[in-house]
Amino acid sequence: MNKFVLLTAFAVLGSACATEVPSNGESIEGLGEAISSSCNTVSGLLPTKASLAVAMATELKRWEPLTDLTTATVNGSQQVTLSAAGNQRCSAMGSSCANTRAILALQDNAVSQVISQNRFQPNSYRNDLLNSFDRQRNRIEELKKNNPSQLPAPHNLTKIGGPTNLGIGACGPHYLFTPTTPAGAAYPNPGTLSNALYFFGYPTNSFLSFTVTNGNVAIDPIDGDNSTPTTTSGTCPTYELDRVYDPANAVLGKCCVTVSGTNGALQAVPRATGYLACKGGAVPTR
C-alpha cells in the first residue's frame, strides 16, 4: 500500500485521478494506486516526460527543447542530452541542472538493473525522446504557416509552487510557474507556451495536463521525480514507478514496498545520479 505525503502549496484539493488529499500533511494511503489505475503511464513513459518538462522549467527556466536538447552517443546508445546551449543556459541560471540530467539519464539501459521493465522501460523512453524532436519541429512549422500568433515566444519561467493538487481532474500534483519575457515583463499570452510542450507529449500526454491559472502555467508529473516526497516516520513507502529522486540520499538504504507489493530497499539507480529505486527483495541497511 502506498504511504506518502503530497506536499501542497494551495488549499484547492481534489482530483479525478487521485483520492482526496488531506491538507494537514497526514500520510496518504492508496493515492499512487489510484493514479496508476486511472491514468495510463505507458510503461512509465508519459509521467517521465512530464517530469522532464518540470525539471527544465525549474532549472533552465524555459521550455525550448529544440535549443536546449540534442542527441549524442552515451554508453553505446544514441540518447537525448543537454546541448551546448542548454548547458550554457543552466550556468546562466545558476543551476547545475541536476534534476534534468538525472531524468535524461533514465534513458540508459543500466536503469533496468534495479527498476523492473514492467514499471519503466528505458529503451522506449529513449526512442520516444529521439522522435520527439520531429514532433516539436512539426508543430512549430505548422504554426508558422497557419497560426503564427500562437508561436511560443522567448520567455523565462519562475517556479512559484508545487507539487500541489489544483483539483482539475489531472493525473497528479501540479507545479506552477510564472512566465515572463526575457526582460521581465508579463508574458503576453501564457497559453501559447503549450506549443513548446510537444516534445514532452502535449496534447496527448495526460500527465502534462497543461493549464493556465491567473497568468501562471502549470503541469503535473507524478510525485517523486522532481522532489522527494515526505514519508510518515516508521513506514515503508511505495513510490510511483518504483523510483524517487533523492539527490541528498536521505532515504538511501531505507525500506520500501514495490508497486507490485514486494518488500525491499532503496538502492542507487545506475547512471541516473540522484535517483533511488525500490528493489524488491533487497535488505534495508538503515
Angle CA(200)–CA(78)–CA(228) in degrees, nearest 5?
A: 50
Residues of the domain holding 136: 3-219
Bridge partners (DSSP) of residue 5 are 230
Say if residues 128 and 45 touch (Cβ distance below 8 Å). yes
Evaluate whether residue 186 is within a structural domain.
yes
Evaluate whether residue 196 is within a structural domain.
yes
Taking the CA atoms of the chain, what radius of gyration do you get in angstroms? Answer: 18
Evaluate whether residue 108 is within a structural domain.
yes
Which pLDDT band, with edges at 50, 70 and 90, does 3 fall under? very low
pLDDT in tens, 152-199: 999 999 999 988 888 887 788 899 999 999 999 999 999 999 999 999
The number of domains in the chain is 1
Evaluate whether residue 238 is within a structural domain.
no
Evaluate whether residue 258 is within a structural domain.
no
Evaluate whether residue 230 is within a structural domain.
no
pLDDT at 273: 96
Evaluate whether residue 166 is within a structural domain.
yes
Evaluate whether residue 126 is within a structural domain.
yes
Q: Kindly report the pTM of this predicted structure.
A: 0.86
**pLDDT of 100 above 50:** yes
Say if residues 179 and 190 touch (Cβ distance below 8 Å). yes
Residue-averaged pLDDT of the chain: 86
Distance separating alpha carbons of residues 6 and 3, to the nearest angstrom: 10
